[in-house]
Amino acid sequence: MRRFLLLVAAMMVAFSSVAQKRTVTGMVTDQSGAPLPGVNIVVKGTTNGTITDFDGKYQLDAKASDVLKFSFLGYIPQEIPASNSVINVQLKEDTKSLDEVVVVGYGTQKKSDITGAVASVSADDLKGQPVSSVDQALQGRVAGVQITSNSGAPGGSISVRVRGIGTINDADPLYVVDGLPVGNINFLNPNDIASVEILKDASASAIYGSRGANGVVLITTKKGKLNSKASVNLDVYYGVQKVINNWKTTTGPEWYSIQQELNKTRTSPIDLSLVDKNQNTDWFNAITRVAPMQNYNFGVTGGSKAMTYALSIGHLNQEGTVEGSSFERTTGKLNVDYQVSKRFKIGTNLNIEHSKKYSISEENYHVGVINTAIKIEPVIPVWKDKANHVYDYSKFTDYPNPVAAIQYDNSHSEKLQLVGNVYGELELAKGLKAKTSFGQSSYRTDSYNFTPVYSVNINQQNLVNKVYRGYNRGDYWSWENTLNYDGTFGKHSLSALAGYTMEEGNYEWFSASKTNIPNEDPSMWYLDAAADGDLASGSASSVSMMSFLGRINYSYDNKYLATVNFRADASSKFPKENRWGYFPSVALGWKISKESFLENATWLTNLKLRAGWGQIGNQNIGSYPYQETMNGNSQYRYLFGMTPTIDQGYVVTGMVDQSIKWETVESLNFGVDASFFDDRLQTTIDWYNKKTKDMLVNVPIPYYYGYESGPTSNVGSVKNNGLEVSVSYRDRISNKLSYNVGFNIATVKNEVLSLGNGEPIAGGYYYGGNATRTEEGEPIGYFYGYKTDGVFQSQQEINNAPVQEGSSNEDLKPGDLKFVDVNGDGVVNDEDKTYLGSPIPKFTYGFNLGITYGAFDLSAFVQGSQGNKIFNAMKTHLYNFDETNKSTDMLNSWTPSNTNTDMPRLNGNDKNNTNRTSDRFVEDGSYARLKNITLGYTLPKSLVQKAGIASLRFYVSGQNLVTITNYSGADPEIGQNSTTNYLSRGVDIGTYPQAQTYVFGVKLGF
């Protein structure tokens, strides 16, 4: 009986066990909805498992209490309870995985094997930002890469500096798109980007030799995947933009009150009866607007067993926040890779862009539209008769009506650019591949302007209409041939690259203008329609380069790493004797976490030490710096012949140095890569020191030499060093909730070591002179001028003070500004000008946060700069004692009853030159900005699939929402006030401010 009962009990347990087990089925897909074959699925804690088939489907016996673990290389693992009999899973790409493959020069490499300073940014990091350019989206994302806007205008230029400013010449990095070097990336649609890698140190960028001195930005565009069905995506957003901030200027009545006070001391008082003291025109508001912005992106990706493809079309239409400015761009991209046979592969990458840009007069130092709107008197109305569109004809102001200036300025340009390459790759033997690639970048830019006949006032009129036409073209081609070997021999791994490249660029521009078109209809805005005048100018240039390159990557036991790079470049920009430049680098790495003494440190996933040294070059200079060139224009006219006639002459433009050579940057880098807790916590720390030698400097010469300028010679040197830290953490709390946070910070110290003859270089030109100075022992382009020490409070203080201006202080009175006698010689003069601060920040930083809860996703990004100064050149206008508009600060000017102020007395007869370049106009430019915040919601698949839609996401996004700063101007993000003046950084001449943007978008997948 006992045996029978035991048998029954055993059978009941067995039946119960069988009853609990059942077959779980489902499909595993990626984020685009494409099936993932080969995904590992295992019952957690057992060896019971399976893999997905070619269609991503699987089946596995499991109990309801079991947990299924899904894992696949390159994707984030997921653990899901087996409570349902059908479980479909979508795996997300693990862009932070230690073994992700990143792009390096002329190839790819596992992140864990990299020995140089290479930073990666994925498409996920860039998504959701309503920006028109890729570099804007990168701002603040990478430690040691400072990105600032030179202008907030639609399509405005961007300044990118990698690890400081290493030269007084062009310090822009090299951009490489899908393997092709390009001059800029304005043609790229940010939505087409798959990844961005930035090579920051010489050991990483030496493979690009003469063009790697300022860093290298490698951009890879999206491609299709093998064995995946066509995936169609549509991303559309619409938004509005507004100016972030306004200048703090006086109202009409406030201005009138200040002018009344100034008239008391003026030798020639202005006639205030010409204006209405109650008129209050906000000129800045009159030229700005709430501007719409819309963007459309359509893409198709997919692949078969042998071919992958990616096609996209994008259209951006962005109105500017300043009237009269806009940017419209249409882009197209095609990437195709085809495996012709087991050993032979071909492919192509093509990008095309057409853009149209309407611009305003922005960089005019005295009468630019924004500049004028800030300083023109508020008592002058915009309109005399608005109904009939008649502007106010004011005799009071010397400045043009900025609203009228926008109307009568028809400046615009159109650009067509084609960038692409084709390649073929042949596997010669196991691990040995030969590749040849031919790329071309061509652009055509047409510039137009028509100035009609108009008359606003005597200072703003055009009595004869004029048509202008400009044309700019560039054609660049590159042919690259490489041989690559990868092999493993026991514990030894070797990768070797050898290559030969040729490239050439041909560039040309011309401009012409004529006057007096009989009919001002737009259909007549052509040169041949004009009757009079014939002014034309132009130039052409050609540059070429030939290179040999090589690289060896070696790894022993996956612990000890070494990388050696070498490149030799020959450039037509240099004379034959110095045409070749040679650029070596070496880097070492040690994966300490692989050592046996750390094998029990389960909390440590990876720990790697890196060290690198290298030399790289800079050839971002003119095409013919060592050749004498001649220039002829209307200024050079001479009389010749028995019957004298006026002939145009020519002059040698400058003395040349026929022995010039490359600028060379020598860089040393030490780094640590560490990750903990299964890669959830990751950090990278780098310290670098780089020195630019043989920097090209224009050497001043005496005028009696007979040249317009001195030679450009290799006589300068600059040093930069700094520390970079990046930290990120990600975790999944539950199947619904996951999050990630990241922070980066970078310091940089810049110093000019030599300028040859030691003569300082003035820069940063503004209406009052030069705001910056570059000299030995100081940072590039630091602010230079007088120091002030408040205002004089009594006559006795004046009597005891150093001479402020001229031979005595007899014209000074209490309330006048007090300048500091820096050198202590008893006189304040040019010898007392001194260092006032640097536009280079002490450190820059970025912070990002991402949260996903169920179908909701939230991301936020903060970017900032600390310790940099801004020269507020607009304040020199707003603080002066003429009739222009004034800063509200002047309402707090010194008076006998208001002595607790640093604002000097209102003095209409200022002999103290109060507005000379001084620290009054140098402000703290530090800021922290909520750069972007995006909230999205993805509809459940069960709902959208009924409509034939794979995915549907709605999102709202804001750009530049909050800015914390002490800067008194409209925007603390000040780059270069000219795209060609590299010593004008941080000088605010009324820069087009950044826009605050709000968008609503929809993203569909099919």
4 pLDDT band, cuts 50/70/90, is very low
| Count of structural domains, the chain | 1
pLDDT digits (tens, 9 = 90+) for 297-353: 999 999 998 999 999 999 999 999 999 999 999 999 999 999 999 999 999 999 999
pLDDT at res. 245: 84
| pLDDT band with cut points at 50, 70 and 90 for residue 648 | low
461 pLDDT more than 90: no
Tokens 């009054």 found at: 920
CATH value at residue 11: 2.60.40.1120
Cβ-Cβ contacts under 8 Å for 644 (sequence gap 6 or more) = none
Does 483 have pLDDT greater than 70? yes
* Coil, helix or strand at residue 636: coil
Question: What is the model's pLDDT at position 404?
Answer: 87
* Mean pLDDT of all residues in 948-952: 87
- The structure tokens listed for 446 are 């047409």
pLDDT at 639 over 70: no
User: What's the token pair of residue 170?
Assistant: 């062009």
Tens digit of each residue's pLDDT (9 = 90 or more) over 351-383: 999 999 998 887 555 668 898 999 999 999 988
Share of the chain above pLDDT 90, in %: 57
- CA 624 vs CA 98, 332, 576, 890, 1001: distances in Å: 46, 35, 13, 51, 49
pLDDT tens digits, 89-130: 998 876 554 457 788 889 888 888 899 999 998 888 887 788
For residue 501, give both structure tokens.
């490249």
CA nearest neighbour of 742 among 853, 854, 863? 863
Look at residue 853 and give its three-state secondary structure.
strand
Q: What is the rounded CA–CA span in Å between residue 923 and residue 873?
A: 11
**Domain for residue 24, yes or no?**
yes
364-370 — which CB contacts under 8 Å span 24+ positions? Answer: 365/765, 365/766, 365/767, 365/989, 366/767, 367/399, 367/400, 367/405, 368/989, 368/990, 369/287, 369/322, 369/324, 369/402, 369/405, 369/406, 369/409, 370/284, 370/287, 370/322, 370/402, 370/990, 370/991, 370/992
Average pLDDT score over the chain: 88
Half-sphere exposure of 94 (CA within 13 A, CB side): 20
Tell me, yes or no, whether 65 lies in a domain: yes
Is the per-residue pLDDT at 688 higher than 60?
Answer: yes
Task: List, for residues 53-88, the tens digit of each pLDDT value.
Answer: 877 899 999 998 899 999 886 688 888 999 898 999
Q: How many CB atoms lie within 10 A of CB 344?
A: 12
- Sequence-distant (6+) residues with CB within 8 A of 741 are 728, 729, 730, 847, 848, 849, 850
For tokens 């120091």, name the residue: 787
| 975 and 148 Cβ atoms separated by less than 8 Å | yes
Q: Where are the beta strands (DSSP E) in 359-406?
A: 383-385, 390-391
Instruction: Give the per-residue pLDDT at 9.
Output: 46
Grade residue 978 by pLDDT with cuts at 50, 70 and 90: low
Token pair, residue 403, equals 């609203």
Terminal Cα-to-Cα distance of the chain (whole angstroms): 67
**Cβ-based burial of 774 (10 A; exposed 0-12, middle 13-18, buried ≥19):** buried
For residue 931, give the H/E element and its range.
strand 927-938
User: For 483-508, what is the mean pLDDT?
Assistant: 94
CA distance 315 to 189: 9
Which is nearest to 777 in space by CA: 719, 696, 843? 719
User: Does a structural domain hold residue 33?
Assistant: yes
What single-letter DSSP state applies at residue 255? Answer: H
Provide the pLDDT for residue 676. Answer: 93
Rounded to an integer, the average pLDDT of 45-53 is: 83
Report the b/e string of 239-273 with b at 16+ CB within 10 A: bbbebbbebebbbbebbbbbbebbbeebeeeeeee
User: In which band, very low, low, confident or very high, does the pLDDT at 876 lie, cut at 50, 70 and 90?
Assistant: very high
Q: Say what the pLDDT of residue 822 is.
A: 95
Q: How far apart are CA 180 and CA 473, in angstroms?
A: 19
pLDDT, tens digit (0-9, with 9 covering 90-100), for 846-869 = 999 999 999 999 999 999 999 999
- pLDDT, tens digit, 9 for 90 and up, residues 782-798: 999 999 999 999 999 99
Q: Which pLDDT score, from 0 to 100, does residue 759 have?
A: 85
pLDDT for 927 equals 96
Which pair of tokens denotes residue 225? 């995947």
SS3 248: coil
Cα-based torsion angle of the residue sequence 170, 173, 177, 181 in order, rounded to the nearest 10 degrees: 50
Pairwise CA distance, residues 788 & 918, whole Å:
7
The answer to whether residue 597 scores a pLDDT higher than 70 is: yes
Domain that holds residue 35: 2-90
What is the spatial distance between Cα 216 and Cα 243, in angstroms, rounded to a whole number? Answer: 33
| Of 826 and 4, the one with more pLDDT | 826
The stretch 972-993 carries a mean pLDDT of: 81
Amino acid at 447: S
pLDDT surpasses 90 at 809: no
27 within some domain? yes
Q: Which two tokens stand for residue 927?
A: 């800021």
Specify the residue for token string 């709107």: 373
Tell me the pLDDT tens digit for each residue of 197-237. 999 999 999 999 988 899 999 999 999 988 888 999 999 99
pLDDT of residue 645: 64
Whether 228 maps to a domain, the answer reads no
> Is the C-alpha dihedral spanning 895, 896, 897, 903 positive or negative?
positive
CA 916 to chain CA mean position, Å = 33
Question: Rounded to an integer, what distance in angstroms lies between the CA atom of residue 587 and that of residue 669?
Answer: 9
C-alpha to C-alpha distance for 422 and 503, rounded to whole angstroms: 15
Number of neighbouring beta carbons within 10 Å of residue 744 = 23
Structure tokens at 198: 């930035």
361-365 long-range Cβ contacts below 8 angstroms, 24+ apart: 361/405, 361/409, 361/411, 362/151, 362/153, 362/992, 363/977, 363/978, 363/989, 365/765, 365/766, 365/767, 365/989
- Whether 720 maps to a domain, the answer reads no
Amino acid at 725: V
- The Cα 536–Cα 540 span in angstroms is 14
Q: Is residue 33 over pLDDT 90?
A: no
Segment among 51-65, 403-417, 694-708 with least mean pLDDT: 694-708
**Which of 769, 870, 883 lies closest to 375, judged by CA?**
883
Q: Which of 542, 536, 573 is nearest to 474 (CA)?
A: 542
| Cβ within 8 Å of residue 792, ≥6 positions away | 798, 801, 812, 813, 814, 815, 816, 817, 818
- Res. 456: pLDDT tops 50: yes
Per-position b or e across 378-397, b if 16+ CB within 10 A of its CB: bbbbbbeeeeeeebbebebb
pLDDT (tens digit, 9 = 90+) per residue, 253-299? 999 999 999 999 999 999 998 889 999 999 999 999 999 999 999 99
Find out whether 252 and 279 touch, Cβ atoms under 8 Å. yes
- Is residue 820 in some structural domain? no
Residue 9 lies in a domain: yes
Alpha-carbon distance of 599 to 592, in angstroms, equals 10
Give the tokens for residue 271.
Answer: 């006639």
